[in-house]
Each structure stands twice: as structure tokens, then as C-alpha cells.
């Protein structure tokens, strides 16, 4: 009977205690979100791993490479010219080379030949080699064409290897400028005249 008498008081105390616990929990949570207030510490092993900060610029080995290391080595080849003489690229190391893929039926190809003839005439003995890779099949017509245009540099007969290594040759003329150290300096897909190639500075350096 006495327990029933004090039951309302006991229930009231329990309710007050629960309210206090909830209030204090919310207060701690709110204080942890306020700048400058101490937050509840969490064991480090329970924290998610931190991501390393992104670099301000690409940390790439390319940035530290010399100009030659950024260029691709010119694939070696051994091809016969119209007279049957074998010309090997690696044996021309030390010379700047223009390697021109062209065809007799291509107007831009025909238009640039006089410029290449003059270029080779001027720089043949100054560390420069001009090479034409003619994509036509009829050698007799090629020889006649070469005489008509006074071509003074070797015209090479391509094989499958060079067309793969330097290809795909989709557009003609396609022209490669190869440095004296054997790297592909430029690959061009358009008509070139002598004013666009300055061997005095960009090629022979003489």
C-alpha cells in the first residue's frame, strides 16, 4: 500500500531523469558543432583514411624530359631507290632528313617537288638529306617523271614495313622531318614550300 502511495513521485523522478539525459545529449551535440568548442574525440582507428591532396600541377615525368626524350625515334628502314641501290636510314645518322611520301597523281605533291629540289641542291653538303618515298607502282613512269622534274634526290620504293612504321599514310603528301640524332621532329600533312622549311635554323643549324 505504501508503494502505491509514493508511485506518482517515483514516476515523476524517472521522467525528469530521462528528460535531463536527452537535454544533455543534445547540448553536447550542438556544442560540438560550434566553432571553437571542443568536440567529442573519436579514436583514430575509426576515422576514414584521409585522401592525399591533389598536386597543383601534373607531377609527370614528361616535365623533366629533355626535348629529344619527348620525341619518337624514327623507325629504321632499308629501301631500294629507282636504280636498285639500298638506302638505310640508320646509316644517315648525323644528317637532318626530310622523308616525303608522295604520288605522281597528287597536285600538291608535284607542286612541292621544285622546292625540295632547290633545298637539296643548297644543303646537300651541309648535313641535309632529302628522300622521297613514291607510292606509285610503275617504275618506268616514275623515272620519266623524275627526269621531267629534275629530281636530284633519291626516290625510294616502299615496302610494307615502312608503310606500317610511318603509317597509316592516309593523306599525301605526308612529310616527316627527322633530326640529326634520329628522332621524328615533325610530321606534316600539307604542301610545303621552301619558305616553310628553314634549314639555316631549324634543320642544319648552320
Query: What is the C-alpha end-to-end distance of the chain, expressed in Å?
Result: 120
- In the block, which residue shows the cell 646537300? 124
Q: Angle CA(102)–CA(105)–CA(107) in degrees, nearest 5?
A: 80
Q: What is the pLDDT of residue 30?
A: 45
- Domains of the chain (ranges, CATH numbers): 2-42 (no CATH), 71-203 (3.40.30.10)
pLDDT the model gives residue 162: 96
pLDDT tens string 124-180: 999 999 999 999 999 999 999 999 999 999 999 999 999 999 989 988 999 999 999
What gap in Å lies between CA 168 and CA 120, rounded to an integer? 26
pLDDT at 204: 46
Calculate the alpha carbon distances from 95 to 26, 70, 170, 179, 192 in Å: 81, 20, 27, 7, 20
Q: Are 99 and 131 in contact (CB under 8 A)?
A: yes
User: Kind of pairing, strands 86-88 and 78-80?
Assistant: antiparallel
State residue 79's pLDDT score. 97
Q: Is 205 left (phi over 0), alpha (psi -120 to 50) or beta?
A: left
What's this model's pTM, rounded to 2 decimal places? 0.63
Segments of the chain scoring below 70 in pLDDT: 1-12, 16-69, 190-206
Closest alpha carbon to 153 in 129, 175, 188, 187:
129
Amino acid at each position: 500500500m505504501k508503494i502505491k502511495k509514493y508511485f506518482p513521485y517515483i514516476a515523476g523522478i524517472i521522467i525528469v531523469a530521462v528528460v535531463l539525459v536527452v537535454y544533455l545529449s543534445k547540448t553536447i551535440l550542438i556544442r560540438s558543432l560550434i566553432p571553437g568548442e571542443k568536440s567529442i574525440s573519436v579514436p583514430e582507428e575509426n576515422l576514414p583514411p584521409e585522401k592525399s591532396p591533389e598536386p597543383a600541377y601534373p607531377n609527370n615525368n614528361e616535365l623533366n624530359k629533355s626535348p629529344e626524350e619527348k620525341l619518337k625515334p624514327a623507325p629504321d628502314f632499308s629501301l631500294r631507290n629507282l636504280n636498285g641501290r639500298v638506302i638505310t636510314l640508320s646509316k644517315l645518322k648525323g644528317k637532318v632528313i626530310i622523308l616525303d611520301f608522295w604520288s605522281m597523281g597528287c597536285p600538291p605533291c608535284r607542286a612541292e617537288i621544285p622546292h625540295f629540289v632547290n633545298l637539296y641542291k643548297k644543303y646537300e653538303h651541309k648535313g641535309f638529306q632529302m628522300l622521297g618515298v613514291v607510292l606509285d607502282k610503275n617504275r618506268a613512269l616514275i623515272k620519266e617523271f623524275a627526269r621531267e622534274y629534275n629530281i636530284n634526290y633519291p626516290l625510294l620504293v616502299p615496302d610494307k614495313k615502312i608503310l606500317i612504321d610511318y603509317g597509316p599514310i592516309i593523306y599525301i603528301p605526308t612529310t616527316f622531318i627527322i633530326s640529326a640524332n634520329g628522332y621524328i621532329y615533325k610530321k606534316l600533312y600539307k604542301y610545303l614550300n621552301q619558305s616553310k622549311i628553314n634549314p639555316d635554323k631549324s634543320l642544319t643549324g648552320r
